[in-house]
Amino acid sequence: MDSSLTRWLFTTNHKDIGILYLVTSLYFLILGGALAILMRIQLMLPNNQFLSAGPFNQAVTVHGLIMVLWFLSPLAFAFANYIVPLQIGARDLAFPRLNAMSYWFYLFGGLLAAVGFFTPGGAIDTGWTVYAPLNTLNYSRQLGVTLGGAGLLMLIASVTMGTVNFLVTIFRLRAKGMSLFKMPMYSWGILLTVFMMLLAFPSILAGVIMLVADRLLGTLYFLSNEGGAILWDHLFWFFGHPEVYILLMPGLMAIAEIFPVFARRPLYGKRILIFAAIIGSAMSFIVWAHHMFVTGIDPGFRKFMTITTEAISIPFGIITLCLILTLFRASIRFKTPMLFALGSLALFIVGGITGVFNSSVALDYNLRGTYWIVAHFHYTLVGGATGGLIAALYYWWPKMTGRMYSERLGKLHFTIYMIGFNLLYFPMHLLVDMPRRVAVYSEEGSLWLNNYLSTIGSFIFAISWIIFFLILLKSLRNGKRAESNPWGSWSLEWMVPSPPPYHNFDVNPEVESDGTIKVINANGGSVESETHNVHLSKGPLMVALGTFLALLGVSLSIFILLIGSIIFAIALFGWAKENILGRFVIREPEVGERWPFSSICNMKLGVWFFLFGEVVFFSSILGGYLFIRANSTSWPILGEVFDLKLASINTFLLITSSLTAMMALNFIRKGEQRGLKLGLLLTFALGLLFLINKGIEWEELFKHGFTPSSSLPATIFYTTTGIHGAHVLAGLIVLLYLLVRAYKGGFSRENYDSVEYFDMYWNFVDVVWLFIFPLLYLI
């Protein structure tokens, strides 16, 4: 095995990337955990002087952001990357380079957010919820908040890429006979997780873009009373509540994966459990306002959200009960993965029950903003989600490293973990009178005892993690060699050696109708094994690095921005060159289970999924506009105030460019190269004219004093048309690539797919404009 630096920097193999995710997420766990310990030391005694309020707020915020976005989900995606392709019988993810890029965006995003600690004023300190208007420049001048926003942007980009990739992989790369219902539970968990991610992250993206615009361009989204706190609340929690289930689902499904193996019985009610999980995931999109019960939103709306929130416990209750029923009349073996699975299910039940309390508007009037809430979500997200993933880590560790860990030490880890956890978080339930995120509390009352106990618990909990890391290191140094199936599991990843060979399977696996999985083991097969070098690419790392520097530059200095942009451009160019040279042509296996997407190719399906995310993104942007407008007493109709001519011309330009794009596609379908070139050129020209015309329009409006910070209508006008313009620009860049390819004769009657993908995107951009035009100018 090649273990050079080049391998890790330029790899596109799913198992390598899985390991990168694992190492990075555990690194962020240490960082977030250290911050938590600092907080607990400060809160150990009343009126403590260990941390002052500034650093304390930074610790609170960065702890939350890191644990939620840079530790928990990425840990789940470490296994998703490593295990899911194996489980479904694939050689790799559908888009390996995109997968690598997703990892690098995640890493650099985290660095960008953490860089804030070294700037004057420190890191972002607004709480992980980044509530408005504290997040605006007026109340938080420090660079750290802008950098936090930039880090979030990179993370969201990473999530989007990962989401599209996993959806296409799970839908299209399953082995023959591996129907959706036959998939192992962890793959199901990831499928539902990425679905929720696809539809939830766009709304926070919209929110962060508005925030960054407020901070850098002086727009008024979150400073205004019409938008402000409630607008942020909506955009944040519309993402934030599904996010809770995004964090939970992989852990819960890891438990569902582990229980049957160690209980030696099949999962009870696999179908019931899967249906419940699907319903729960869908419902997670209609409960978000329970985070806003006390903000004074409409009472009827609140009652609706109370009922949906209490109802969402039904599917999760069913999942829990199915899991427990699996143990009935079983023959349970208490290895470390099973202990963690059992423990984390028990803790999740506690967190789930306290969650029902929070769903009540009435109880929320007192519980809101207190340590009760902190206790609740740590029971679910640490106890339930993290515990489930730690169980998964012990479970798949032998597969990923080829080494066993010490069972004795694993059990010690579990014991100390449970004691520490409960001592740390249980007393928080009793701190109903203590506000969250206070750095100091007074001696009066009885707050100190529970805080003291909690801090002691946090030390014990920290020790359990030290033991955990020692177990891992010891196993890597001198752990026993692992067999290919140490636990007596059934699924595909256990049918290949530990660790699996580079290309996973010599021959594509198959599932027969009686449920027998057929796979010819590596080493036994005949296909020549591929080496790492075939699939190394510099593109992903360089694009991410360029983006990182560009975003850092936007916040710090033009010079860094320039370097970043140059790297970005060169990297994109290299990427396109790899495409034109035909490297990274991913062979799709001829046979496989692809319901319900059998008659569509991977790339096209990927573009579709991306566009679905975009639908929610533009809905969020336009939703922000409609919300602000509904809150305003008067609103000028732009078409009546300013000249409509330029905007109308733009509508005609864009509509026509859609036609020319379709004509280009039509020509190449018939193999007519000249028509293709003409069509693409015309589309490019029309798109360019659209942008130029837009520039003229903006300049005109600027002359009238209609600047982004002059009024709310102006804020919304520039942001909305600006984001749309950016989409047009991105389309033009892709179009440039298509033109180069077209002139090099890269398309033919059989090979015109990229033109088709471009058309799908371009038509979508057109549709968005068809809404923006009337909404902004005419009504």
Stretch that binds another protein, among 65-73, 243-251, 604-612, 684-692 (CB under 8 A): 604-612
CB atoms within 10 A of CB 702: 14
The b/e string for 275-297 (b: 16+ C-beta within 10 A; e otherwise) is: ebbebbbbbbbbbbbbbbbeeee
User: Minimum distance between the CB of residue 638 and another protein, rounded to whole angstroms?
Assistant: 11
Find the binder of another protein among 557, 598, 709, 751 (CB under 8 A): 598
Q: Does 408 bind another protein (CB under 8 A)?
A: no
Of residues 413 through 432, those in contact with another protein by CB under 8 A are none
* Contact between residue 336 and residue 407 where contact means Cβ atoms under 8 Å apart: yes
Q: Does 722 bind another protein (CB under 8 A)?
A: no
Nearer to another protein, 124 or 541 (CB): 124
Find the binder of another protein among 15, 63, 215, 234 (CB under 8 A): 234
User: Minimum distance between the CB of residue 769 and another protein, rounded to whole angstroms?
Assistant: 10
User: Minimum distance between the CB of residue 175 and another protein, rounded to whole angstroms?
Assistant: 12
Q: Does 630 bind another protein (CB under 8 A)?
A: yes
Nearer to another protein, 478 or 599 (CB): 599
Of residues 72 through 111, those in contact with another protein by CB under 8 A are none
Q: Which residue from 549, 569, 568 is spatially nearest to 559, judged by alpha carbons?
A: 549
Of residues 241 through 280, those in contact with another protein by CB under 8 A are 260-261, 263-272, 275-276
Q: Is 710 exposed, middle or buried (0-12, 13-18, 19+ CB in 10 A)?
A: middle
Of residues 146 through 175, those in contact with another protein by CB under 8 A are 171
Q: Does 48 bind another protein (CB under 8 A)?
A: no
Find the binder of another protein among 2, 23, 141, 314 (CB under 8 A): 314
Q: Does 494 bind another protein (CB under 8 A)?
A: yes
Helix (H) or strand (E) holding 511: strand 510-511
Nearer to another protein, 8 or 117 (CB): 117
Find the binder of another protein among 159, 439, 567, 714 (CB under 8 A): 439
Alpha-carbon span 30 to 564, nearest angstrom = 29
Q: Is 481 exposed, middle or buried (0-12, 13-18, 19+ CB in 10 A)?
A: exposed
What tokens does 346 get? Answer: 């028990």
The residue assigned the tokens 């903003």 is 369
Helix (H) or strand (E) holding 453: helix 447-478
Nearer to another protein, 546 or 613 (CB): 613
Of residues 531 through 570, those in contact with another protein by CB under 8 A are none
The residue assigned the tokens 């809150």 is 631
Can you state the angle between helices 228-263 and 270-283, rounded to 10 degrees? Answer: 170
CA angle 541, 542, 543 (to 5 degrees): 95
* Contact between residue 42 and residue 60 where contact means Cβ atoms under 8 Å apart: no
For residue 200, give Cα distances in angstroms to 125, 207, 291, 384.
24, 12, 16, 21
Find the binder of another protein among 8, 30, 50, 313 (CB under 8 A): 313
Nearer to another protein, 582 or 596 (CB): 596
Stretch that binds another protein, among 14-22, 111-119, 388-396, 762-770 (CB under 8 A): 762-770
Nearer to another protein, 237 or 718 (CB): 237
Task: Give phi and psi for 510, each to the nearest 5.
Answer: -140, 145
Which neighbouring-strand residues pair with 510?
A: 176, 518
The alpha carbon of residue 400 and the mean position of all alpha carbons in its chain are separated, in whole angstroms, by 23
Q: Does 360 bind another protein (CB under 8 A)?
A: yes
Of residues 317 through 356, those in contact with another protein by CB under 8 A are 317-318, 320-322, 324-325, 327-334, 342, 345-346, 349-350, 353-354, 356
The alpha carbon of residue 163 and the mean position of all alpha carbons in its chain are separated, in whole angstroms, by 7
Of residues 59 through 78, those in contact with another protein by CB under 8 A are 60
Of residues 636 through 665, those in contact with another protein by CB under 8 A are 637, 639-640, 644, 648, 651-652, 655-656, 658-659, 662-663
Nearer to another protein, 456 or 770 (CB): 770
Q: Which residue from 426, 419, 425, 428 is spatially nearest to 447, judged by alpha carbons?
A: 428
Q: Does 437 bind another protein (CB under 8 A)?
A: yes
The sign one gets for the Cα dihedral 341, 347, 348, 353 is: positive
* Contact between residue 168 and residue 612 where contact means Cβ atoms under 8 Å apart: no
Stretch that binds another protein, among 81-89, 313-321, 408-416, 565-573 (CB under 8 A): 313-321
Stretch that binds another protein, among 8-16, 106-114, 132-140, 391-399 (CB under 8 A): 132-140
Alpha-carbon span 508 to 755, nearest angstrom = 31
Of residues 176 through 215, those in contact with another protein by CB under 8 A are 182, 198-199, 203
DSSP H helices in 359-434: 361-367, 371-378, 387-401, 407-429
